[in-house]
Structure 1
Amino acid sequence: MRVRRLAAWTALPLAVTLGLVACGSGGDGGSGESNPDAAVRIEIAEPQHLVPTNTNETSGSQVLAALFSPLVDYDEANKPYEVAAESVTSEDNTTWTVKLKDGYTFHNGEKVTADNYLDAWNYGAYAPNGQNSSYFFEKIAGYEDLQGETPKAKTLTGLKKVDDLTFTVTLSQPYSEFRTMLGYTAFYPMPKAAFSAPGVLAEAYEQAPVGQGPFKMKGTWQHDAKVEVEKYDAFPGEKPKVAGVEFRIYQQPTAAYADVLSDNLDVIKTIPTENLSTAGTDLGDRFKQSSASSLQVLAFPTFQEEFSNPDVRKAISMAIDRDEITKSIFKDSQQPARSFVSPVVAGYRDNTIGEAGEFDAAKAKALYQAAGGPARIELSYNGDGGHKDWIDATCNQLKTNLGVDCVGTAEPKFADLLTKVKAKQPVGLFRMGWVMDYPSMENYLGPLYSSNGSSNYYGYANPEFDKLLAEGASAANEDEAIKKYQAAEDLLAEDLPVIPLRYGQNNFGHSTKVTNVEMDLFDRIDLLKIEAVK
């Protein structure tokens, strides 16, 4: 997953095909001559965290993608290839050997060694550290002993150092896609300087993370304002074509859009919904679209009595006209979703939720009343993500089609919403967005719906689902794994802990001061391709 998991903005659901598509007309602007001494300015929302093992949302992962180099990345076919790793191999899909490329150093001068990966992963897996991405270490042997309030151990038995550039990872059961997982943010290394004592993160580290990637921090994280990075000259991999990046933090997408139009911001990662109809005219061919892996859902707090009945959840889903909202609000820039996984991954099937995805106001109201649905529905969302229009439209449909009172409630920032739902504070239904961490059906199912999933904020638990997921993970090959994952998805269609609404595509834009602006399936601007122009 190079992460991207939880998406703050109305990240656009996927076009089913891969590859970049430019829209509009006109030139990129500028003289066209590259200016490698210039920094570029990219819009993000306020990150929730900037520690690799604690970052599971798209804005934080965009910053970390500048500061760190992953063990593997993904090609145009979504297949992994080595980056910071020299090789990742296994003969049995249980014991994996990771060999690191020589020559990598952290931004403080420390040489990158196997210890840096072991230290970071053990820190992330240790439950008392409360890391959001702890779940991603679950497959490593010894993980269970690191869980609970008073764990039996502090380090994973499945991690062993071989030499300074080699370590082995033994899994608790075979997992053929483990190499694919290693592109995710949680698997970045951390330097010795990140820890004030063994297993204890230094208090100041998150404010100025030290990585081993193409850029290093310039100063500290200026909360609600910006994070600045500059090119790291000692980076041994592909060099960036710009001198630095200012990740400028916005709470309102419309403000970011206005700044792009006036050349006061270089890249907006998501065009506001209210500007989609004019973006082609406003920006010309600086309005860009490309495939994404995002999925927008409305999630139920299934642990609350009023939403514990699957029929209530099904009725709400049937009362929402996805096609109309996609057309009227998103101008067909998104694709209605009726499944739990994205079309970009192997194993995707269209319309797995069946009747629950069919708009039928009369049947929805009858089912809702028979199931004893609540008279009032609250839809919570993050106000910094451009969601108000579609939330209001959804509320209006629920009022009309179910005869209920419906209100949309905005939390100032995505981080605020995540904090509330994680603490199980009453927020009603809540908007969630997912961007895949790594290309696999399992990544759309495990983190979001398994009993101990890192992003299971709805309290969903189904032992049979967990069993099928585990069987898929340990399958001998992809085809067998997909059969198990599809059976698990069928259970989700019955239980409906969330309502799939839309698949996204990237709808982004840039100023006249940059060129070669590309966005990947993980909602990240490619920082090695972007160029400033004179």
Structure 2
Amino acid sequence: MTPRRPTALAAPAALALILAATACGPTDSAKPKGASNKPGGTYSVALTEPDHLLPGRTTSSYSLQVLQGLFDTPATLDPEDGSVRPLAATSWTTTDNIVWTIKFRPGTTFHNGEKVTAHSYADAWSAAAYGPNGWDANYYFSQIKGYDTLNPSEEGAKPSSQRLAGLTVVDDDTLQVTLNAPFGQFPMLLSFPAFAPLPKAAITDPDAFDTAPIGNGPYQVEGTWERNQKISLKKFAAYTGPRKPMADRVDFKIYTSRETAFTELQAGNVDILTTVPAANTTQAKRLFGDRFSIRPSGTMDYLGLPVKDRRFADPRIRKALSMSIDRKGITQAIYNGVYKPATSITGDMIPGHRAEACGATCTYDPAAARQLLAEAGGFTGTLELYFSNSDPTYEQWMTSVANQLKDNLGIKDVRFRKMAPADLSTLLNGQRNKGPFRQNWVIDYPSIQNYLDGLYYPGNRSGWSNKEFDALVKQGNAAQGAEAIAAYQRAEDIALRELPYIPLWNWQDQSAWSDKVANVVIDPYVSGLHLDRVTVSQ
């Protein structure tokens, strides 16, 4: 899920906190000649098949792009500078960073006419946080009091409640949220789609809701989600929020690969592609001119390691794997040098990023890698590499990694486990993989904390945990400014020392669009393409 903000937010105040984040790079905004800013029209967006369309049930960037148009979350991140702004909420106040009072816009409705109230948020958040539901965004609610009750740590224990104790509905438009501990970045968290409100239908029948979600945003689903084909949205006529939609309709066309989507963009069969393959950079620049852009990104790729597997239990083995990977060579060969070799867990646009945090661990050094592997007892058996089939470059770089592990470390038997994104996600979330895997993180807001919490949460895919790391993250959460950044950096040092996730490269996002559309705004955060702003030439 996906981008990042300054980590230490504003100091507590009794006023509504509109917390400024540092700029995270330019947005895309171009108007082709002859394009009109008049509302109306239909445009299409290329998309990979989502896993779910119920907020709280997904953290997939493919799903979140659709949900961005269907739901208004309490807060949003400004696409220009990353600052936190009200969306469905009008304000949030606190005096101690523990108890927050959120005021919502009155008089709003869901697409089915049901009134949106503070209960709609409390019910949605409790459903996502309730462990037995198994919703992917569950951990996003771990800051709220009562989360542990809904997710007991004892094996076989059942939750004693289905509602978060830290949520108090004051009235229809007011929700009081009590956290477990001070968390100054809470308003940024409110911009994540899992914090959207849900109507009663989502709670009573989440599976049915998944195929035809009912939101409170500027667009509503037209018909139902046609699996592996398309998702169509139309303007919600009764929408009264601040994101007035320009186009009447948005069609998400689902493709199995970005290469196919790029071909379709060239042919005029789709209007916007937010992820142009790096291999097509030169061609895209030539074909689309000022309708092609490269933007700084907080998205990172890692090689995740199942640390509970005895073959990967020794950090020296994990470091040997890392040092045997030629990041610069791979990014040059496969991504035309657009992506940047990782030197840290975080993207280089993040406040507090340190250019050489990873040091020798992320430096290509086959001789040192072989020595480390030998000291740790070597590697035996088959090495399985897990990745999705949604992008051919994943197999390309996995092939390069496999060859380097063979050549540099003498690991002879390397096999691929390639599968659909949804299937891979299910397997990794259940820690049922038997080898390293592609792990991607798309930041939700510009902060080191988002990477640390997003990758190393309790029960994370690698199976790694460290009490000192957890304590430092907690310390950073309670702090402000430089003090918070320093604590997060010390936690990052522990993660890099233990290396359950090997940093590989920092994405640079590439997008292109047809001359049919204008006002294309794509931010580096979880919102991605701002569906409501796009205009269609008339």
State the TM-score, normalizing by the size of structure 2: 0.91
State the match for 2:435 in structure 1: 428
**Is 2:47 the counterpart of 1:39?**
no
Task: Summarize the alignment of residues 218-297 of structure 1 with structure 2, pairs less than 5 Å apart.
Answer: 218-236=222-240, 237-297=242-302
Q: Distance in 2 between matches of 1:365 and 1:408?
A: 20
**CA distance in structure 2 between the aligned counterparts of 1:426 and 1:118, rounded to whole angstroms:** 35
* Alignment pair present for 1:191 and 2:199: yes
Decide whether the 8 Å contact of 2:384 with 2:417 is kept in 1.
no
Distance 1:47-1:510 versus aligned 2 partners, 3 A rule = same
Name the residue aligned to 1:12.
none
Q: What do residues 118-168 of structure 1 show as CA deviations (whole Å, max 9, x unaligned)?
A: 000111111111111111111111111111341111111110011110010
- How many Å apart are 1:365 and its aligned residue? 1.4
Aligned counterpart for 1:372 among listed residues 369, 377, 385: 377
- Structure 2 residue aligned with 1:19: 26
Question: 1:129-208 residue pairs with structure 2 within 5 A?
Answer: 129-148=133-152, 149-196=157-204, 201-208=205-212
1:347 aligns with 2:352: yes
Query: What's the counterpart of residue 12 of structure 2?
Result: none
- The one-letter code of the counterpart of 1:190 is L
Q: Kindly state the Cα deviation for residue 368 of structure 1 after the two structures are TM-superposed.
A: 1.5
Instruction: Indicate if the aligned counterparts of 2:278 and 2:335 stay in contact, CA closer than 8 A.
Output: yes
Q: Report if the CA contact (8 A) 1:269-1:507 is conserved.
A: yes
- 1:400 correspondence with 2:404: no
Is residue 2:87 matched to residue 1:79?
no
User: Match of 1:422, as an amino acid?
Assistant: N
- Paired with 1:289 and 1:443, the residues of 2 have a C-alpha distance of 23
**What amino acid is aligned across from residue 230 of structure 1 in structure 2?**
K
**Which amino acid is the alignment partner of residue 390 of structure 2?**
D
Q: What does the per-residue CA deviation read over 1:444-476, in whole Å, with 9 as the maximum and x for residues that have no partner?
A: 001211324xxx21101111111111122122x
Q: Unmatched 5+ residue regions in structure 1?
A: 6-15
- Distance of aligned partners of 1:276 and 1:471 in 2 relative to their CA distance in 1, 3 Å threshold: same
Structure 1 CA distance for aligned equivalents of residues 55 and 206 of structure 2: 14
Q: Is the 8 A contact 2:24 2:81 kept in 1?
A: no
Measure how far apart 1:35 and its partner are.
6.2
Q: Deviations over 1:265-318 (max 9, x none)?
A: 111121123322322123222222222220111110111111111111101111
Give, in whole Å, the separation in 1 of the partners of 2:447 and 2:50: 25
Distance 1:209 1:406 in 2: 45
What SS class does the counterpart of residue 119 from structure 1 fall into? helix
How far apart are 1:426 and its partner, in Å? 2.9
Unmatched segments (≥5 aa) in structure 2: 4-22
Could you tell me how far apart the structure 2 residues matched to 1:293 and 1:63 are? 20
Provide the rounded CA distance (Å) in 2 between the counterparts of 1:403 and 1:446: 35
After TM superposition, the structure 1 = structure 2 runs for residues 449-460 of structure 1, keeping only pairs within 5 Å, are 449-452=456-459, 456-460=460-464
TM-score norm. by structure 1 comes to: 0.91
What's the CA shift for 1:385? 2.4
Specify the code of the residue in structure 2 equivalent to 1:295.
M
1:315 maps onto 2:331 in alignment = no
C-alpha displacement of 1:215: 0.3
Q: Give the share of equivalent positions with the same residue, in percent.
A: 36
Aligned AA (1:252):
S
Structure 1 window deviating more from structure 2 (398-407 vs 317-326): it is 398-407
CA deviations 1:159-189 (Å, max 9, x no partner) are: 0011110010011111111112110111110
1:119 aligned onto 2:123 = yes
Classify 1:29/1:348 alpha carbon distance in 2 versus 1 (closer, same or farther; 3 Å).
closer
Q: Any residues of structure 2 matched to 1:438-477 within 5 Å, and which? A: 438-452=445-459, 456-475=460-479, 477=480
What is the one-letter code of the residue matched to 2:160?
A: K
CA distance, structure 1, for counterparts of residue 350 and residue 520 of structure 2: 24
Secondary structure of residue in 1 paired with 2:234: strand
Q: Following TM superposition, by how much is the alpha carbon of 1:34 offset from its aligned partner in structure 2, in angstroms?
A: 4.6
1:429 CA drift (Å): 0.9
Corresponding position: 1:415 with 2:422: yes
Contact 1:450/1:465 (<8 A) preserved? no
**1:527 correspondence with 2:531:** yes
Three-state SS of the structure 2 residue aligned to 1:256 is helix
**DSSP-derived class of the 1:294 partner:** strand
Contact 2:24 2:524 in 1 (8 A): no
Counterpart CA distance in 1 for 2:404 and 2:325 is 6
Q: Match of 1:85, as an amino acid?
A: A
For residues 413 and 511 of structure 1, the distance between their equivalents in structure 2, rounded to whole angstroms, comes to: 29
Residue aligned with 2:76, SS: strand
Cα displacement (A) at 1:20 = 3.4
CA distance in 2, matches of 1:259, 1:4: 26
The alignment partner of 1:229 has SS state of strand
Structure 1 residues 21 and 193: alpha-carbon distance in aligned structure 2, compared to 1, 3 A threshold: closer
Q: Give the partner amino acid of 1:4.
A: T
Contact 2:285 2:292 (8 Å CA) reproduced: yes
Matched, 1:514 2:517: yes
Is the 2:279–2:336 contact (alpha carbons within 8 Å) kept by the matching residues of 1? no
> In the alignment, is the contact (CA less than 8 A) between 1:294 and 1:435 conserved in 2?
yes
Q: State the partner residue of 1:498.
A: 501
SS in 2 for 1:259: helix
Where does structure 1 differ by over 4 angstroms across 4 or more consecutive aligned residues?
27-30
Q: Which amino acid aligns with 2:237?
A: D
Give the match for residue 388 of structure 2. Answer: 382
1:482-509 Cα shifts (integer Å, max 9, x gaps): 1211111110111000110111121111
- The SS at the match of 1:350 is coil
SS of corresponding position for 1:405: coil
Match of 1:361 in 2: 366
Q: Which stretch of the first structure deviates more once superposed, 338-347 or 87-96?
A: 338-347
Give the structure 1 partner of residue 16 of structure 2. Answer: none
2:56 paired residue number: 53
SS in 2 for 1:204: helix
Which one of 76, 82, 102 corresponds to residue 106 of structure 2? 102
